[in-house]
Chains A and B, each alone.
Chain A
Amino acid sequence: MTTLRTSPSTRRRNPLRSLQSAPSLLLMSVLILYPLGALLLQIVFPDVFNYHMSWRPSFGAVRDVMGNSLDLTAIGNSFWIGCVAALVSIVVGTVTAFGGVMARGGLRSLISGSVWVIFFAPSYVIASGWVILLQQGGVMQLAFGLPSTDFTWFFSPVGLFLIMGLRYFPFAHFAMTQAIENIGPEYINAARMLGARKSQVFTRVWLRLLTPALLAGATIAFADGFGDFGLAAVITPQMQIPMVSYQIYTSLYETPVDYSSAAVLSLLVTLVTAAALILQFWWLSRRSFTTVSSSSRSSSEWPGRGSRTLIGLTLLLVCFGLVLPLGATLMQSFWKSDLGGLGWNNWTTAAYTSALSLGGAAVQALLRSGAYALVAAAVTAVLGLFVAQQMTFLKSLTSRILNTLTMATIAIPGVVLAAGFVFAWNATWLIPLHLILYETPLCLAMAYVAGHLPYTIRLQLSSLSQISPNLLTAAQTLGAKRRTVIRRIVVPLVRETVVSTVLITFTGVIFELPAATLLYPPGQPPFSVLVQQKFNSFEWSQGSALTMIGMGVVFGSYALGNFLLRRGLGGRQGGMTGAFTGTSSTVGTGAGPGMAMSADVVS
Chain B
Amino acid sequence: MKRSSKWAAAGLFAVSALGAIFTSMPAAAQSAAKARELVIYSAQGYDIAMGAAFQKATGIKTVVDDMSTGPVIAKAEAERSNPHWDVIWFDGDSSMQSLDDQGMLLRGWTPNDFNNYTPLGKSLVAADKSYFPGGVTAAAAFAYDPKILPAKDVPTTLQGLLNPMFKGELAMNDPSISGPTYPFVAGVMQQMGLAKGKQFFLDLKKNGMHIYRTNKVTINALLHGRAKLIWVQDSALIADKVQGDPIAIAYPKSGVYTLPDVLGIDSHAPNMKAAKEFVQFVLSKAGQDVMINPANGGGDSYYNPVIKGIKPNPARQQTGINWVRVNPIQAANVENSLKAWFNDNITY
User: How far, in Å, is B169 (CB) from chain A's closest CB?
Assistant: 15
Q: Which residues of B contact A435 (CB under 8 A)?
A: 22-23, 27
Q: Which residues of A contact B95 (CB under 8 A)?
A: 255
Q: Which residues of B contact A389 (CB under 8 A)?
A: 7
Which of B5, B31, B84, B348: most chain A CB closer than 10 A?
B84
- From 172 to 228 in chain B, residues with beta carbon under 8 angstroms from any chain A beta carbon are 174, 176-177, 212-217, 220-221, 223-224, 226
Q: Which residues of A contact B21 (CB under 8 A)?
A: 442
Q: When the two chains form their complex, are residues A518 and B78 in contact, meaning their CB atoms are under 8 A apart?
A: yes
A596 located at the interface, meaning its Cβ lies under 8 Å from any Cβ of chain B in the complex: no
Which of B80, B223, B226: most chain A CB closer than 10 A?
B80
User: How far, in Å, is A172 (CB) from chain B's closest CB?
Assistant: 32
Closest to A419 in B: B78
Q: Which residues of A contact B4 (CB under 8 A)?
A: 2-3, 6, 20, 393-394
A24 located at the interface, meaning its Cβ lies under 8 Å from any Cβ of chain B in the complex: yes
- From 13 to 68 in chain B, residues with beta carbon under 8 angstroms from any chain A beta carbon are 14-15, 18, 21-23, 25-31, 37, 39, 45, 63-68
Q: How large is the interface on A (under 10, 10 to 19, 20 to 34, 35 or more residues)?
A: 35 or more
Q: When the two chains form their complex, are residues A23 and B8 in contact, meaning their CB atoms are under 8 A apart?
A: yes
Q: Which residues of A contact B319 (CB under 8 A)?
A: none
Q: When the two chains form their complex, are residues B71 and A517 in contact, meaning their CB atoms are under 8 A apart?
A: yes
Which of the segments A274-282, A531-539, A569-577 contacts the partner chain?
A531-539
8 Å CB contact of A23 from B14, B71, B348: B14
- Bound-state CA distance A1–B6 (Å) is 12
Q: Which residues of B contact A533 (CB under 8 A)?
A: 66-68
Which of the segments A49-57, A88-96, A291-299 contacts the partner chain?
A49-57
Closest to A26 in B: B15
8 Å CB contact of B82 from A419, A428, A517, A538: A428
Q: When the two chains form their complex, are residues B22 and A136 in contact, meaning their CB atoms are under 8 A apart?
A: no
User: How far, in Å, is A443 (CB) from chain B's closest CB?
Assistant: 8
Q: When the two chains form their complex, are residues B224 and A137 in contact, meaning their CB atoms are under 8 A apart?
A: yes
A161 located at the interface, meaning its Cβ lies under 8 Å from any Cβ of chain B in the complex: no
- Bound-state CA distance A6–B7 (Å) is 15
B103 located at the interface, meaning its Cβ lies under 8 Å from any Cβ of chain A in the complex: yes
- Bound-state CA distance A240–B344 (Å) is 10
8 Å CB contact of B81 from A30, A237, A426: A426
A422 located at the interface, meaning its Cβ lies under 8 Å from any Cβ of chain B in the complex: yes
- Bound-state CA distance A265–B191 (Å) is 37
Q: How large is the interface on B (under 10, 10 to 19, 20 to 34, 35 or more residues)?
A: 35 or more
Q: Which residues of B contact A440 (CB under 8 A)?
A: 26, 29-30
Q: Which residues of B contact A517 (CB under 8 A)?
A: 67, 71, 75
User: How far, in Å, is B172 (CB) from chain A's closest CB?
Assistant: 15
Closest to A423 in B: B78
Q: When the two chains form their complex, are residues B81 and A252 in contact, meaning their CB atoms are under 8 A apart?
A: no
The secondary-structure label for the interface of chain B is helix
User: How far, in Å, is B118 (CB) from chain A's closest CB?
Assistant: 27
- Bound-state CA distance A256–B98 (Å) is 7
- Bound-state CA distance A537–B75 (Å) is 20
Per-residue interface assignment for chain A, residues 524 to 548, with 1 indicating a CB less than 8 Å from any chain B CB and 0 otherwise = 0100010011001110000000000
Q: Which residues of B contact A148 (CB under 8 A)?
A: 224, 226
Q: Which residues of A contact B242 (CB under 8 A)?
A: none
Q: Which residues of B contact A473 (CB under 8 A)?
A: none
A560 located at the interface, meaning its Cβ lies under 8 Å from any Cβ of chain B in the complex: no
Q: When the two chains form their complex, are residues A442 and B22 in contact, meaning their CB atoms are under 8 A apart?
A: yes
Q: When the two chains form their complex, are residues B28 and A23 in contact, meaning their CB atoms are under 8 A apart?
A: no
B298 located at the interface, meaning its Cβ lies under 8 Å from any Cβ of chain A in the complex: yes
A559 located at the interface, meaning its Cβ lies under 8 Å from any Cβ of chain B in the complex: no
Q: Which residues of B contact A441 (CB under 8 A)?
A: 26
- From 500 to 520 in chain A, residues with beta carbon under 8 angstroms from any chain B beta carbon are 517-518, 520
Q: When the two chains form their complex, are residues A518 and B80 in contact, meaning their CB atoms are under 8 A apart?
A: no
- Bound-state CA distance A237–B177 (Å) is 7
A186 located at the interface, meaning its Cβ lies under 8 Å from any Cβ of chain B in the complex: no
Q: Which residues of A contact B223 (CB under 8 A)?
A: 137, 339
Q: When the two chains form their complex, are residues A422 and B78 in contact, meaning their CB atoms are under 8 A apart?
A: yes
Q: Which residues of A contact B213 (CB under 8 A)?
A: 237-238
Q: When the two chains form their complex, are residues A522 and B80 in contact, meaning their CB atoms are under 8 A apart?
A: no
Q: When the two chains form their complex, are residues A136 and B81 in contact, meaning their CB atoms are under 8 A apart?
A: no
Q: When the two chains form their complex, are residues B79 and A426 in contact, meaning their CB atoms are under 8 A apart?
A: yes
B74 located at the interface, meaning its Cβ lies under 8 Å from any Cβ of chain A in the complex: yes
8 Å CB contact of A434 from B31, B224, B226: B31
User: How far, in Å, is B348 (CB) from chain A's closest CB?
Assistant: 7
Closest to B218 in A: A136
A150 located at the interface, meaning its Cβ lies under 8 Å from any Cβ of chain B in the complex: no
8 Å CB contact of A438 from B22, B84, B299: B84
Q: When the two chains form their complex, are residues A436 and B27 in contact, meaning their CB atoms are under 8 A apart?
A: yes
Q: When the two chains form their complex, are residues A137 and B70 in contact, meaning their CB atoms are under 8 A apart?
A: no
B160 located at the interface, meaning its Cβ lies under 8 Å from any Cβ of chain A in the complex: no
Q: When the two chains form their complex, are residues A536 and B68 in contact, meaning their CB atoms are under 8 A apart?
A: yes
Q: When the two chains form their complex, are residues B7 and A427 in contact, meaning their CB atoms are under 8 A apart?
A: no
Q: A51-B81, A257-B77 are in contact. Are A338 and B220 (CB under 8 A)?
A: yes
For the complex of A and B, the 5 pairs showing the least CB-CB separation, nearest first, are: A23-B11, A253-B70, A434-B27, A523-B63, A440-B26
8 A-B pairs within 8 Å (CB atoms) are namely A137-B220, A237-B174, A240-B348, A254-B70, A338-B220, A422-B75, A427-B82, A522-B37
* Contacts A240-B347, A419-B78 supplied; 4 other A-B pairs, CB < 8 Å: A30-B18, A257-B73, A394-B4, A426-B84
Q: Please give the residue numbers on chain B whose beta carbons come within 8 Å of chain A beta carbons, in ascending order.
A: 2-8, 10-12, 14-15, 18, 21-23, 25-31, 37, 39, 45, 63-68, 70-71, 73-75, 77-82, 84, 94-95, 98, 103-104, 174, 176-177, 212-217, 220-221, 223-224, 226, 243, 245, 268, 298-299, 332, 335-336, 340, 343, 347-348
